[in-house]
Chain A
């Protein structure tokens, strides 16, 4: 009884859950090392690595020189020697200097060595907008990562998933690009850090809300938007299902397509650009697999095809509840006009 009381859930933020995931991984496995700019004394600009250097020492949680290619490149060497580096890229657009390391080495070391040299590296990238960040602080870069074979690409939308997915990412023998929706860092949920719920393997989507009218396929920062839209849609008589992908690579065709076959309609929602964005791939997959179940074309609600706008204009760019509902309305129209 006393143990159960101690483990009672209380409000925790996504940032705290991520920090807890790293702390638990570091406690369990001395091979786990955290490195990046400002991750030590400061605890990260979002405080996600808060307290790790104090608890595990600077050799386990290391403030590096300010150089993303160097951070990821040295992590490759550390992983070659048997460590499990968790690197922080601080902001989405700051990760671009590390792209060559990611694409030319991290993603393909297992492949080029026929499995002899896997690289268990977790690349944590705070991504997406909605926090009023200035230029280069709000990009949604997931399509670049998705286009690179050899990488897993995951993104949590809930406090619980933040913990579970990061534990799985660190434990993975393959490199994982771990996209942290920074506007959800301070989202709270009742969550018990002492008794985290069963952690699902990477690659499983989850139905966050069941419904019959249409499926909203989404992930990361757009999940709360879609949940809100689904609530609002009830007033219109639409019963929307929300699928949170959690993992972009591997992609859970099964869960997504099962949902679309039930509802017959789908809207893909994300912040990233529509043209060349993840939604195009998702819509194509759904169409290829569920064509005869579809009552309307698969629509996309995405960010505009523009460089990420200045913060005072970002609310016009980011897909919000109204834009999602407009798309759902268009799905209905396609049916009526037949």
Chain B
């Protein structure tokens, strides 16, 4: 017998206080189709100068990816996670920001850092293996390339929040892959950003696979952009191979953040044409047909078609862009073929502001080893000379 059935039970539950949603979810929901500009009516409104700039950067970016991949084959880079096929996302991310803004890249976003103006050799030190971060993040306002997934997203939130507290209109753009959206830090970063209305843009490049795991095994969400509504921020879905569309959507999100409108989650639908890295065999988890279908939706060709159709690009201009990219690749190759100069004593230099006693002892040990090696080398050289 339950309480209610008991005869004479005096308890009469009162209804709970009226509940209503905190935020109307409808305006936060992404459009059902990824936003497109190229090949649609919206293209005629696009700024020709911007389109030409995007084109030049895309061509350079494609060549950069090819060159860096080649450098892994020559043993000059330990690894290179290529963004071939995703160049529109990389370039648009860099160009959507003002100089005072910050970029928080993941390990696949070297090209975004280079398109933002970072020296390509400095951008590649992590992957070459001579130092983890080859540049001063403050100088370029580019955080170190983050290898752990999504852990750089809360950094972007904290930085943007701090900037706003300091009265600066700085925006942080944080890049993450589809796999990274499954990580706990993705959730915590989006939640903090929304609660704090931090000026951050979260940019998911959904390239279909987290190494080998396809999106269907990664998430049951209608789209990754739909996740935004759960945090109380707008989600936008964009064609990640349409440089004009990505630039426009990111530009709007950045502008919204700058004027105090809070964070946005942007999901770009794109595809990783190359394998995860040179250590990966992509044929084990995807068919050629799929790759070919995406090749047909190539970001450079999309833009080329648009520009040619509008008479903004002729054969000479295409050739000029290709030659510029080739010159960049040649310079990169030449510089990367020189062995970096390494200083073993650097190992102890930047662990703490001031070395601990323990590190001073270890530094002395290494110094003695190096001196002994030096003596041995000198001895060997002397022997060779005889």
Contact = CB atoms under 8 A, between A and B. Distances in A.
A78 B350 contact: no
Interface string B112-139: 0000000000000000000111011111
A111 B185 CA distance: 22
Interface string B150-177: 0101111111111101100000100000
A150 B133 contact: no
A111 B184 contact: no
Given A78-B159, A116-B138, A73 B154 contact: yes
B365 to A, nearest CB: 13
B195 interface: yes
Contacts of A33: 165
Contact of B185 (A100, A118, A173, A174): A100
A276 interface: no
Given A112-B144, A117-B137, A77 B154 contact: yes
Contacts of A150: 351-352
Given A105-B151, A111-B132, A117-B138, A77 B162 contact: yes
Contact of B350 (A64, A73, A110, A250): A110
Contacts of B151: 73, 100-101, 104-105
Interface in A73-117: 73-83, 85, 97, 100-101, 104-105, 108-117
- Chief secondary structure at chain B's binding surface: helix
A85 B346 CA distance: 28
B233 to A, nearest CB: 14
Interface of A: 33, 59, 64-65, 67, 69-70, 72-83, 85, 97, 100-101, 104-105, 108-118, 149-150, 152, 172-174, 203, 249-254
B148 A77 contact: no
Given A67-B191, A73-B188, A115 B350 contact: yes
Nearest to B168: A81
Contacts of B159: 77-78, 80-81
Given A72-B154, A115-B350, A117-B136, 17 more contacts: A65-B191, A67-B188, A69-B154, A70-B189, A73-B185, A76-B154, A77-B160, A77-B162, A78-B161, A79-B158, A81-B158, A100-B151, A110-B352, A110-B353, A111-B132, A114-B133, A251-B356
A37 to B, nearest CB: 12
Given A67-B188, A114-B349, A117-B138, A250 B357 contact: yes
B144 A70 contact: no
B40 interface: no
Interface string B335-355: 000000000001001111100
Most central of B154, B189, B357 by chain A CB within 10 Å: B154
Contacts of B143: 80
Chain B: interface size category: 35 or more
A97 B162 contact: no
A74 B165 CA distance: 13
A71 B155 CA distance: 10
9 cross-chain pairs, A with B, having the tightest CB-CB distances, nearest first: A77-B158, A73-B154, A70-B188, A74-B158, A112-B132, A77-B159, A250-B356, A81-B162, A77-B155
A9 B380 CA distance: 70
Contacts of A250: 356-358
A106 to B, nearest CB: 10
A63 to B, nearest CB: 10
Contacts of B160: 77
B81 to A, nearest CB: 18
